[in-house]
């Protein structure tokens, strides 16, 4: 298509940051999607819809799709509502493209996908998502489905699922490939003196991520609760914070081990309990079990999700030395779908991974050789 080639040429001259990944990403015609979309590997476009676009529209749409890839929007979706996540990501990248002057948005795309006033400037897609999710809930008043307040839009759902046959190892390769593509595009644009300023910070954040421990813990927990295959007994390790999940039934039970050796202060437990309360509201376990332990399991608290009210609910017992091998072994009796261990890390550790998914919330920089480690300091 002649307009496509002209659009690529203009992007290469004026917008090398966007053009470089567009030129290196397979562009596949598809009538199974209404407009355009990407599965993080290829960009798909409907030739019938594109017939009504001009060259500037071509530039905008392909740059839009390539930013979904570079910013790992599919990989970062996690358990979030796909429609609202798509809108949050669109609000972010459409603002970038318009400020950069990269093409022109096609007609028919609703205003809800644009941030013309800069309301969300400086925010991540995750932060934007939380804001519009709350607003959508208020507008719907408990009626309909998430995202209904935004209506339908031609670009809805352009963040497509990953390819069906992709394996966990291939996902890791894909992530590295995207990082390389991002770094290459940025370097070429810098050399040409045409790297948009607002993208510099985003690139640094993506290539050198600093993820809050609360977000890590929440992402780990929600993925375990909703994934019906990744956490089978034969596959207990986390692949990546942003792997997409499939929804299933509520979590059978949630087990928490609290280190009461005396080195974890009340403020630490207050902070951790507040975040665990939010996670419980997300994953809705049937039962919550808290094992308080030092060199032994001193007590076990049992409660239902509605009984967990945060820090005031926790009743630590113990206070001697530290040996977390004991409560980890005791936890096996409950066949838990996941165990959250809260500790300072200064403890003897098991010689091998436990027979259940383990998240270690560590309050220090001590070495924690088992489980997935989330540090709060």
3-51 pLDDT tens trace: 888 988 888 888 999 988 999 999 999 999 999 999 999 999 999 999 9
**Residues 159-181: tens digit of each pLDDT:** 999 998 899 889 889 988 998 89
pLDDT at 168: 84
Residue 335 region, left (φ>0) first, then alpha (ψ -120 to 50), else beta?
left
- Is the pLDDT at 255 greater than 60? The verdict is yes
- Is the pLDDT at 243 greater than 50? The verdict is no
- Is the pLDDT at 342 greater than 80? The verdict is yes
Mean pLDDT across the chain: 82
pLDDT at 60: 94
- The ranges assigned to domains in the chain are 2-207, 213-375
pLDDT at 208: 65
Looking at CATH, the fold of the domain delimited by 213-375 is given as Rossmann fold (3.40.50)
pLDDT at 121: 87
pLDDT at 246: 37
**Residues 346-362: tens digit of each pLDDT:** 899 999 999 998 988 88
**What distance in Å separates the CA atoms of residue 333 and residue 4, rounded to the nearest whole number?**
62
pLDDT at 36: 94
Helices (H) and strands (E) in the chain, counts: 12, 9
**Residues 100-159: tens digit of each pLDDT:** 899 898 887 665 677 778 889 888 898 899 999 999 999 988 888 888 888 777 677 899
**Residues 88-97: tens digit of each pLDDT:** 999 999 999 9
**197-201, 219-223, 260-264, 338-342: least confidently modelled range:** 219-223
- Is the pLDDT at 193 greater than 90? The verdict is no
Taking residues 226-239, what's their average pLDDT?
39
Taking residues 317-335, what's their average pLDDT?
87
pLDDT at 203: 81
**What distance in Å separates the CA atoms of residue 342 and residue 279, rounded to the nearest whole number?**
15
pLDDT tier for residue 374 given thresholds of 50, 70 and 90: confident
Taking residues 292-310, what's their average pLDDT?
86
- Is the pLDDT at 231 greater than 50? The verdict is no
Residues 219-234 as b or e (16 or more Cβ within 10 Å = b): bbbbbbbbbeebbeee
Which sign does the torsion angle of CA 9, 12, 18, 19 carry? positive
Q: How far is CA 63 from the centre of its chain?
A: 22
Taking residues 179-193, what's their average pLDDT?
88
pLDDT at 1: 65
**Cα–Cα distance list, 318 to 51, 98, 249, 309, 315 (Å):** 71, 59, 35, 22, 10
- Is the pLDDT at 212 greater than 80? The verdict is no
């Amino acid at each position: 298509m002649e307009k496509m080639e002209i659009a690529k040429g203009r992007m290469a001259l004026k917008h090398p940051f966007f053009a470089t990944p567009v030129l290196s990403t397979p562009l596949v015609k598809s009538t199974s999607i209404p407009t355009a979309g990407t599965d993080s590997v290829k960009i798909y476009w409907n030739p019938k819809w594109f017939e009504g676009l001009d060259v500037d529209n071509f530039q905008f749409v392909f740059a839009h799709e390539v930013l979904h890839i570079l910013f790992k929007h599919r990989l970062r979706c996690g358990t979030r509502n796909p429609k609202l996540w798509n809108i949050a990501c669109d609000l972010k990248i459409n603002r970038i493209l318009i400020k950069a002057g990269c093409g022109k948005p096609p007609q028919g795309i609703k205003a809800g996908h644009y941030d013309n006033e800069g309301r969300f400037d400086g925010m991540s897609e995750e932060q934007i998502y939380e804001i519009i999710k709350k607003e959508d809930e208020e507008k719907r008043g408990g009626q309909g489905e998430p995202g209904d307040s935004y209506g339908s839009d031609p670009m809805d759902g352009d963040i497509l699922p990953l390819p069906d046959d992709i394996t966990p190892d291939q996902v890791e390769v894909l992530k590295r490939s995207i990082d390389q593509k991002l770094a290459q595009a940025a370097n070429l644009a810098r050399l040409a003196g045409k790297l948009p300023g607002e993208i510099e910070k985003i690139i640094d954040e993506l290539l050198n991520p600093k993820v809050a421990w609360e977000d890590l813990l929440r992402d780990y927990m929600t993925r375990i609760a909703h994934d019906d295959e990744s956490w089978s007994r034969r596959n207990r390790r986390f692949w990546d914070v942003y792997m997409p999940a499939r929804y299933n039934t509520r979590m059978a039970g949630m087990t928490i081990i609290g280190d009461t050796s005396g080195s974890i202060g009340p403020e630490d437990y207050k902070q951790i309990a507040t975040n665990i309360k939010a996670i419980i509201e997300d994953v809705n376990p049937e039962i919550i079990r808290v094992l308080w332990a030092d060199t032994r399991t001193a007590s076990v608290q049992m409660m239902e999700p509605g009984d967990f009210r945060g820090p005031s609910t926790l009743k630590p017992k113990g206070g001697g030395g530290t040996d977390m091998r004991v409560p980890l072994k005791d936890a096996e009796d409950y066949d838990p779908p996941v165990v959250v261990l809260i500790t300072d890390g200064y403890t003897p550790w098991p010689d091998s991974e436990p027979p259940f998914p383990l998240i270690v919330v560590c309050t220090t920089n001590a070495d924690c050789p088992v489980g997935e480690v989330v540090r709060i300091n």
